[in-house]
Chains A and B, each alone.
Chain A
Amino acid sequence: MLIAQGFRPSRSTKVRAVLLAGLFIICLFFCSFNHGTIVSADTSTGVLPLQPIIDSAREGDLITLAPGAYSGPVRLDKRVTINGNGEAILLHTAKDEQAAVLITADSVRLENLKIQQNNDGEAAAVRVEADRVTLKGLVIHSAGYGILLREADSGVISDNTISWFIPTGEAPGTRGTGIDLYNSHGAVIRGNDIAYLRDGIYLENSRNTVVDQNKLTYLRYGVHCMYINGSKVTNNTGEYNITGAMVMGVTGVVVSGNSFRKQSRNVHSQGILLYDVRNSAIINNRVEGNRVGIYMQQSSDNKLQQNLVLRNYIGVQFENAEGNRFERNGFVANVIEAQATGSRDNEMNGNYWDAFGGLDLTGDGVSDLKYAINPFYQQLVAGNAAYQLFFQSPGMTFLSDMYTGGSAGWSTDSAPLMQLEAGTVSPDQAAGGQGTVMVAGWLLLFLSVITIIYLGVLRL
């Protein structure tokens, strides 16, 4: 009887069950939307360990960190969101730990947190081994690597600041990479500011990645990518790197709208380096004041269009580049505009070469004379690099001009433009010291005129 009663739901138990179910639903609702764990850090007691806070959180929690210092390393193995509001800092001073933050769960979000990572070499500030992770607004100072993605697809890495630092009282360690992707496809890397590391953004075996609007300065390679078919490197800016963008071993990549400037200090510097690149589009980039603007080696069937090549020592350099379309690029004030060896079947058309005196008889804005790139110097230097001492020596120009043997095989622009499209290059702003030059000019002129009049005209 008792047992039978226990099995039959009475009216009161029904009500209780409904209530419980309601509570459960409310609870779920609460958990998924508003169940924030707010931690207040007691800054007076110093650094608070972060791992226990994460351990106490549940799947899907939003952890908002109060201002203050927290200690790492931490491991994120559940789907949580951590927000530091830009005032929380995670310190990672423990030795022999590979990452300040290790993310192994999908869809983790890490936002507005400062991270200081003191280990050099392979150690990273953030290491991601899961998909769809978002890293946003982080400020990272790392003695080694910045952000590492390993087998982590569809990550979003945006608006982070990553730079190298030397922990106080320690010798400088080996610089790592700012953002380093390996076998991680479909990531979006946007609006990051990376400086003083080895490479800014390193992509290997990561297809369909978008690298957009990043600022890259004082690095070895700004963007360094290999085997990243179908990726886009767009609208990035780089200055004072050894090389702005180094793209190799790819097919079907878009490199456009980037600006790489002032990369001339190193003997291997260049704006954009393309090696073994096929079927890709290099469009609308601006390379200015580099040792070599665009260097293309062993690449074929690419489109290079509407790039602006300004004030480089060597504008573009082709080596064994074949079957590329090279159109509507502008060359202004480069010491040597172009060098090409072993590069056949490139379709050069309608570029503007400012050092070339074209002749336009038909009045269609296109020169009727062709522009041929003289390979003499490059061939000479390839034979013995010691002859680079003759770069742009007046005698060397003289010698190159005399050398016209086999000019039929030279890379030639068949229809060079007479004018650069208006508005592409703004006149240079005063470089500062314009007044000084003018005053010095006045002074020199005055002194020399006085001397000449005194000694030559008056004949005193």
Chain B
Amino acid sequence: MADILHIARRELKIGFRNPWAYSFLALFCTFSLGLLLIHVNNAVEGYTAVTGSMLSLILYLLPLMTLFLGSFSLTSEREDGSWQLLSTYPIGTLSFVLGKYTGLAAVLLTIVAFGYGLMGLLSGLLGMAFAADTYFLFLAFSAGLVLLFLTLALIIGSLSRNRWQALTISVAVWFFAVIGWPTFLIAGLGLLPYLWIKPALIVLTMLNPAELVRLFVVVKLGGGSVLGPEYYQWVEWISRPGGSLLFLGVCAAWVLLSILAVYWIWERGRSRG
């Protein structure tokens, strides 16, 4: 436990000395404030164009930021030789991975908190109508997105040999999960028999953190009915308080499995030198 904290603290220090973190912070703040100003006369409440466009912005930006910062942090360990040094200490690989995850999560969540803090403050100063539940839902949505994509970032970082490779894979994963997703799915699922499409779609959605979190927020914003009668039952479940627990469970399973995968990769690397 002490090891985890130690590594997490080290990660935090490195994270906040990293200019990348600040450039993403600036980017996130600029875009969210820009959106806020465009919609200054509209209430931010429920599922509307305002919340819809905010959702899209966050879906574009946060996964990219998380994938870059997360994967670079891991590859740099290897490139800078600090992992080789750490390996000589009596630190377990799991402690290392968990410490990395916690530290990076803290850095990213601080960036998100800064952005939302500024947004909340400014909307108050501008006298905008910003419903409290929508605000907190968005905060939770962003945090969830960061935590889920961070596990992906760690996997990418573990598999890449250097930063360039990590960058390339990160962009590819981001494009696949956020932008190309419907295109690939529609093309791929079109080959399946009609009745298989819906179950396959649901399973695949569970596997894509961007879609999973987006749909959860849309339903929680009250927009579940727009998904149509096909998903009536799902929407009902998620709308209930138990739905949040179910969602948290899926996210926890996601994080846990990915961290185990990362652990396995590093442990394998360590034992083989």
Q: State in angstroms the CA–CA spacing of A385 and B232 once bound together.
A: 12
Whether a CB of chain A sits under 8 angstroms from the CB of B215 is yes
B118 near A428: Cβ-Cβ < 8 Å: no
Q: Does B129 contact A (CB under 8 A)?
A: yes
A441 engages B119 (CB within 8 Å): yes
Does the CB pair B228–A267 fall under 8 Å? yes
Interface string of A237-253 (1 = CB under 8 A from B): 00000000000000000
B211 at interface (Cβ–Cβ under 8 A)? yes
Number of interface residues, chain B, beta carbon within 8 A: 76
Indicate if the CB atoms of B182 and A333 lie closer than 8 Å. Answer: no
B141 near A: Cβ within 8 Å? no
Enumerate chain B residues within 8 angstroms of A430, measured Cβ to Cβ: 127, 129
**A9, B117: Cα distance in complex, Å:** 108
Q: Given the complex of chains A and B, what is the CA–CA distance between A431 and B132 in angstroms?
A: 8
A398 to B181, CA, bound (A): 10
Interface residues of B in 95-128 (CB under 8 A from A): 110-111, 113-114, 116-125, 127-128
B134 to chain A, nearest CB (A): 8
Q: Which residues from 9 to 49 on chain B have a C-beta closer than 8 Å to any C-beta of chain A? A: 12-13, 15-17, 21, 39, 41-49
A427 to chain B, nearest CB (A): 5
| Cβ A442 vs Cβ B121 within 8 A | yes
Taking a contact as CB atoms under 8 Å apart, the answer to whether A389 and B117 are in contact is no
| Residue interface mask B128-148, A partner, CB < 8 A = 1 | 111111111001000000000
Chain A residues numbered 89-111 whose CB sits less than 8 Å from any CB in chain B: none
What is the distance, in angstroms, from B29's C-beta to the closest C-beta of chain A? 10
A442–B124 Cα gap in the complex (Å)?
A: 10
Whether the pair B43, A431 counts as a contact (CB closer than 8 A) is yes
| Interface flag for B178 (CB, 8 Å) | yes
Across the interface, do B231 and A388 meet the contact criterion of CB distance under 8 Å?
yes
* Contact A429 B226, beta carbon cutoff 8 Å: no
* A435 and B124 contacting across the interface, CB-CB below 8 Å: yes
A85, B215: Cα distance in complex, Å: 54
Residue A269 lies at the interface, judged by CB distance under 8 Å to chain B: yes
Chain B residues in 8 Å Cβ range of A433:
130-133, 135
Give a binary string over B32-68; 1 marks a CB under 8 Å from any A CB, 0 the rest. 0000000101111111111010011001100000000
Assembly CA distance A451 to B106 (angstroms):
10
Q: In the bound complex, what is the Cα–Cα distance between A289 and B214 (angstroms)? A: 20
Contacts of B56 in A (CB 8 A): 392, 394, 397
- The CA-CA distance from A386 to B214 in the complex, in Å, is 17
Beta-carbon nearest neighbor of A265 in chain B: B225
Of chain A, the residue at the smallest CB distance from B228 is A388
Take A267-B228, A388-B227, A455-B12 as given contacts and tell me if A448 and B120 are in contact as well, using a CB distance cutoff of 8 Å. no
Docked-complex contact A431 and B45, CB < 8 angstroms: yes
Complex: A269 Cα to B227 Cα, angstroms: 12
Q: A395-B178, A438-B124 are in contact. Are A459 and B43 (CB under 8 A)?
A: no
Kindly state the separation between the CA atoms of A311 and B43 in the bound complex, as whole angstroms.
9
CA distance A265 to B226 in the complex (A): 9
Given A334-B49, A442-B120, does the pair A437, B130 have CB atoms closer than 8 Å? yes
Distance (whole angstroms) from the CB of A447 to the closest CB of chain B = 6
Q: Given A333-B48, A393-B214 in contact, is the A434-B226 Cβ separation under 8 Å? A: no
Say if the beta carbon of A10 comes within 8 Å of chain B: no
Q: Which residues of B are found within 8 Å of A265, using beta-carbon distances?
A: 222, 225
Chain A residues, Cβ within 8 Å of B133? 433
Chain B residues with CB below 8 A from A443, complex form: 117
Closest Cβ neighbor of B239 among chain A residues? A265
* Contact flag A266-B225 (CB < 8 Å), given A395-B178, A433-B132, A444-B113: yes
In whole angstroms, how far apart are the Cα atoms of A459 and B116 in the complex? 25
Closest Cβ neighbor of A427 among chain B residues = B41
Contacts of B89 in A (CB 8 A): none
CA of A389 to CA of B198 in the docked complex: distance in angstroms?
Answer: 10
Residue of A nearest to B55 (CB): A392
CB proximity of A42 to chain B, nearest CB, Å: 52
- What residues of chain B lie closer than 8 Å to A452, measured between beta carbons? 16, 110, 114
A423 contacts partner chain B, Cβ-Cβ < 8 Å = no
Taking CB as reference atom, which chain A residue is nearest B25?
A452
Determine if A227 is an interface residue (Cβ-Cβ < 8 Å): no
Q: Mark A410-442, 1 if CB is under 8 A from B, else 0.
A: 000000000000000101111111111110111
Task: Pick from B113, B129, B197, B222: contact of A431, CB below 8 A.
Answer: B129
Which residues between 292 and 338 of chain A lie within 8 Å of chain B, taking CB atoms?
A: 311, 313-314, 332-335
- Any B CB within 8 A of the CB of A27: no
Q: Is B181 in contact with A393, judged by CB distance below 8 angstroms? A: yes
**A398-B179 contact, Cβ under 8 Å, with A431-B43, A437-B123, A452-B16:** yes
Distance in angstroms from B138 CB to nearest chain A CB is 10
**A333-B39, A393-B214, A438-B123 as given contacts; A445 in contact with B117, CB under 8 Å:** yes
Per the 8 Å Cβ criterion, residues 177-204 of B in contact with A are 178-183, 185-186, 194, 197-198, 201-202
Question: Counting chain A CB atoms within 10 Å of each CB, which of B116, B123, B225 scores highest?
Answer: B225
Q: Complex Cα distance A326/B173, Å?
A: 43
Q: For A313, give its contact among B123, B139, B226, B235 (CB under 8 Å).
A: B226
The 5 closest A-B pairs by CB, nearest first: A441-B120, A438-B124, A445-B117, A433-B132, A456-B16
A interface with B by C-beta (< 8 Å):
264-269, 289, 291, 311, 313-314, 332-335, 354-355, 380-381, 384-399, 425, 427-438, 440-449, 451-452, 455-456, 459
11 further A-B contacts with Cβ under 8 Å, apart from A333-B42, A432-B132, A442-B120, are A266-B225, A267-B225, A291-B225, A313-B223, A355-B49, A389-B227, A393-B181, A431-B130, A440-B120, A441-B120, A445-B113
